[in-house]
Amino acid sequence: MDRCHWGRSRSHDPCQSSKTPSIRAGRNLFKEFSRSHKYMTTDEDSAFVQDVLKKYHSLNTTPHNRTYTILAAIALSYPGETKTIGLATGCKCLPKNRLPEQGDALHDSHAEVLARRCARRWLLEEIQRYVTVWRFRIKEGVQVIMYISTPPCGDASMRFPGILPGRSNGSAQELNRLRGSCLPMRFQEGRNNYALFGVLRTKPGRADSPATLSMSCSDKIARWNVLGIQGALGSVFLDPVYLSRIIIGEVNEDIREEVKIDCERAFWGRLDVSDLPRGFRIHRPAVVFTSVPFPFSKATDLQDIHAACIS
């Protein structure tokens, strides 16, 4: 695999992940990252986001008629270089009345889920290069990072829409007013009872759209923080692959602390699991924010409209 980014062993016991030796290159290519939990991204993170936007624009496909979309990407990050292994846009999913009986259609086309599917395929294709090796793991010092152009739907963003221009609850004070204690886990559809935090939710949608059974991106990211992003098939060959850092866009600086609290609760703070198989754990990725704008986001579109109205 490229420049020995991976570790591997010849053990056929998937439970022996703690003893999996790593590939040694001619020199030590990697250094440990400090566990920073600052709100702002590093220069490398900003460069990664810029590179993601550049790759997206190179695809020559953009939303039409002033519609918006969400962009997400997953990358391997190590000092001096970041390799994008998954990139996608999307904010749609199938309603429950259109789910095929044969299971031959993609239910969830939100950007975060599609980017993870891309990354999972990349991992499996890399594994195919080493058909004589049974177990793999991410090399020590390499981090898996994720960029999302807006806070993901579900528990992580229940207060976030209030910051958009033209909303009456756009202040940080109003966001504080909506703060509630995490209630016992229960199920909510979309944004129903939006002041309830820490609950499982389906994907949101327009009031006139049919209901969906797809769980929110917040709930799926929380699942990835326990099981990893590699999927069931990937788990046969890979130790759990966890996100080290999640970079989120279009969050104004004055409410980043509030959104960070919501994201950390949604991604791992509300989880209470025990007796996990060896190698699995509740992982706590750092949540940071970027000021690099995505030109086809809903917030950017509303800000343009707002500026045109007052100019």
Q: Which residue out of 32, 81, 112, 253 is catalytically annotated?
A: 112
Residue 309 CA, distance from chain mean position: 34
Nearest Cα to Cα of residue 217 among 234, 232, 233, 200: 200
Q: Give the integer Cα–Cα distance in Å for 252 and 257.
A: 10
Buried b (16+ CB within 10 A) or exposed e, 107-140: bbbbbbbbbbbbbbebbbebbeeeeeebbbbbbe
Q: Which amino acid is at 109?
A: S
Which DSSP string corresponds to 179-204? --PBPSP-EE-TTTTTT-BS-EEBPP
Would you call 112 a catalytic residue per the annotation? yes
Q: Give the integer Cα–Cα distance in Å for 89 and 26.
A: 39
Residue 181 neighbours by CB under 8 Å, 6+ apart: 197
Residue 39: DSSP 8-state? S
Q: Give the integer Cα–Cα distance in Å for 110 and 148.
A: 11
Q: Which amino acid is at 81?
A: E
Q: Which amino acid is at 24?
A: R
**Ramachandran quadrant class, 267 (left: phi over 0; alpha: psi -120 to 50; beta: rest):** alpha
Residue positions annotated with a catalytic role: 112
